[in-house]
Amino acid sequence: MTEVSDHAAAPGPDHTDPVLKVHNLRKYFPVKSSGLLQRTLANVQAVDGVSFEIPQGSALGLVGESGCGKSTTGRLITRLHEPTSGSIEFEGRDMAKLKRRELLPLRREVQMIFQDPYSSLNPRHTVGAIIGTPLEVHNVVPKKKVLERVRELLEVVGLNPEHYNRYPSEFSGGQRQRIGIARALALQPKLLVADEPVSALDVSIQAQVVNLLQDVQKEFGIAFLFIAHDLAVVRHFCPEIAVMYLGKIVEIADRETLYNRPHHPYTQALLSAVPDVKQAAVGGRRDRIMLEGDVPSPINPPSGCRFRTRCSLAKEICAKVEPPLLQIGKRHKVACHFPGELGKHPETPITSRLLGVDESGNPDPGATPSPDLSDGPGFADTWVDLDRRTVAHG
Ligand SMILES: Nc1ncnc2c1ncn2[C@@H]1O[C@H](COP(=O)(O)OP(=O)(O)OP(=O)(O)O)[C@@H](O)[C@H]1O
Ligand code: SF4
Ligand SMILES: [Mg+2]
């Protein structure tokens, strides 16, 4: 990624109500036996208890390695997948509970841009039909005005409005992604899920498409869930970023905190691979933190902390107890027993008293677990002060 401008970055998350609130969202895909009696042998725990919110007109970045559940999260929000459990509140209504027919009006408001601009456009339809069909299906404009709106939309995304009768094969990858963006904008959505919208594009045009998305966001006030597999792409776009690992959010924070003071060992490793991030984020070191091995299978994830099989800091407690996603700053949550800036991770777990266990993760009969560890969406006015290990107030 080069030359992404900061001029149209999304507004900060502080001032508006959330357009989307996701709480404890789960998606398990059953693995069935072959034969007639298809029994469920196991479950792929693709998304396992994810919570976040997106303020109106703002943007949340969702990053993580391949297979960590980013696309599944996006597809749950657009209801291309049915959630196994959890809630997806869009403007105060729980979409997870709505029936197909009740969903139709909401579908207009939540649109998706897909990663692959080649397979996401029907090659047998003209650009005019691709962008115009949703306008007709949802009765957005009278039939005789559809072509006029298609031309306007092509212009908005920087394409020649007279090319409405051409086919996708007559366009380059970047131009096709612009067509995908025009299609998503046609219904004037309030939320756009952009699933790696530039990963399949040539590096030289990635920045142009990201800039277009930023301009569109600013002009139409659309909120974004911007999915990417590395932290470089979302940096300029998103005021808040969530890092996912094996179906769970492990760290979520405002941009400044996440890039300059990440506290989760996984975020620190991901950031060390981003060439142009301020070196403060990785303790002033230029060394890349190599992540050993592959992401484990989401069918049988590691006990306790799912990252422990690849974490150089892992201790006994990490295998026994799952770390809660704990708020440790005004807009900063982290799921680690030993959170800290690189090289400053605490010696003893910060979570043991809250969880009612000893330092090794064994139940502590004298301790009372904190009842207030619920991992809700958004941020509270109080959080755990890491230095004093007490509750701090905003
Ligand atoms: N329809 C499905 N049936 C069964 N398993 C699935 C299905 N869709 C996704 N998965 C599994 O769920 C896990 C999460 O997949 P997902 O596509 O959400 O990851 P991702 O973070 O988007 O990865 P990538 O960066 O490769 O796009 C993977 O292990 C994947 O194999
Ligand atoms: S909980 Fe333990 S294994 Fe997990 S990230 Fe923190 S130190 Fe590493
Ligand atoms: Mg994906």
Query: Taking 80 as the threshold, does the pLDDT of residue 280 lie above it?
Result: no
DSSP reduced 3-state for 240: strand
pLDDT of residue 286: 55
358: CA distance to ligand 1 center in Å? 36
Assigned superfamily of 18-30+42-242: P-loop containing nucleotide triphosphate hydrolases (3.40.50.300)
pLDDT of residue 3: 44
Tokens of 241: 């970023």
Closest Cα to atom 22, ligand 1: which residue?
Answer: 71
Domain boundaries, the chain: 18-30+42-242, 288-393
Which ligand 1 atom lies nearest to the CA of residue 29? 4
The 8-class DSSP code of residue 22 comes to E
Q: Which is it for strands 59-63 and 223-228: parallel, antiparallel or unpaired?
A: parallel
Q: Is the CB of 96 under 6 A from ligand 2?
A: no
pLDDT classification of 154: cutoffs 50, 70, 90: very high
pLDDT of residue 276: 62
End-to-end, the C-alpha distance of the chain in Å comes to 36
pLDDT per residue as tens digits for the range 328-350: 999 999 999 999 999 999 999 99
308: CA distance to ligand 1 center in Å? 21
pLDDT of residue 239: 95
360: CA distance to ligand 2 center in Å? 13
For residue 182, the surrounding DSSP H or E stretch is: helix 173-185
Query: Taking 70 as the threshold, does the pLDDT of residue 284 lie above it?
Result: no
What distance in Å separates the CA atoms of residue 131 and residue 89, rounded to the nearest whole number?
28
Query: Taking 80 as the threshold, does the pLDDT of residue 7 lie above it?
Result: no
pLDDT per residue as tens digits for the range 16-33: 679 999 999 999 999 988
What lies within 8 Å, CB to CB, of 102 at 6+ separation is none
More confident residue, 88 or 389: 88
Which ligand 2 atom lies nearest to the CA of residue 311? 8
Query: Taking 50 as the threshold, does the pLDDT of residue 143 lie above it?
Result: yes
What lies within 8 Å, CB to CB, of 212 at 6+ separation is 157, 158, 178, 181
DSSP reduced 3-state for 256: helix
E-assigned strand segments in 234-331 = 240-245, 248-254, 326-329
pLDDT of residue 16: 64
More confident residue, 383 or 283: 383
E-assigned strand segments in the chain = 18-32, 40-55, 59-63, 85-90, 93-94, 110-113, 191-195, 223-228, 240-245, 248-254, 326-329, 332-334, 382-385, 390-393
Query: Taking 50 as the threshold, does the pLDDT of residue 186 lie above it?
Result: yes
pLDDT per residue as tens digits for the range 193-213: 999 998 888 888 888 889 999
What distance in Å separates the CA atoms of residue 76 and residue 206, rounded to the nearest whole number?
26
Query: Taking 80 as the threshold, does the pLDDT of residue 220 lie above it?
Result: yes
70: CA distance to ligand 1 center in Å? 8
What distance in Å separates the CA atoms of residue 278 and residue 265, rounded to the nearest whole number?
17
pLDDT of residue 84: 96
Pocket test for ligand 2, best of 291, 322, 338 (most atoms within 8 A of CB): 338
Query: Taking 90 as the threshold, does the pLDDT of residue 14 lie above it?
Result: no
pLDDT of residue 1: 43
More confident residue, 37 or 283: 37
pLDDT of residue 331: 95
268: CA distance to ligand 2 center in Å? 12
- For the whole prediction, is pTM greater than 0.85? yes
pLDDT of residue 5: 44
Pocket of ligand 1 (CB under 6 A): 29, 44, 46, 64, 66-72, 229, 298
Show the CA angle centred on residue 273, arms to residues 10 and 261, nearest 5°: 60
CA 328 to chain centre: 20
The mean pLDDT of 166-170, rounded to a whole number, is 95
Closest Cα to atom 4, ligand 1: which residue?
Answer: 29
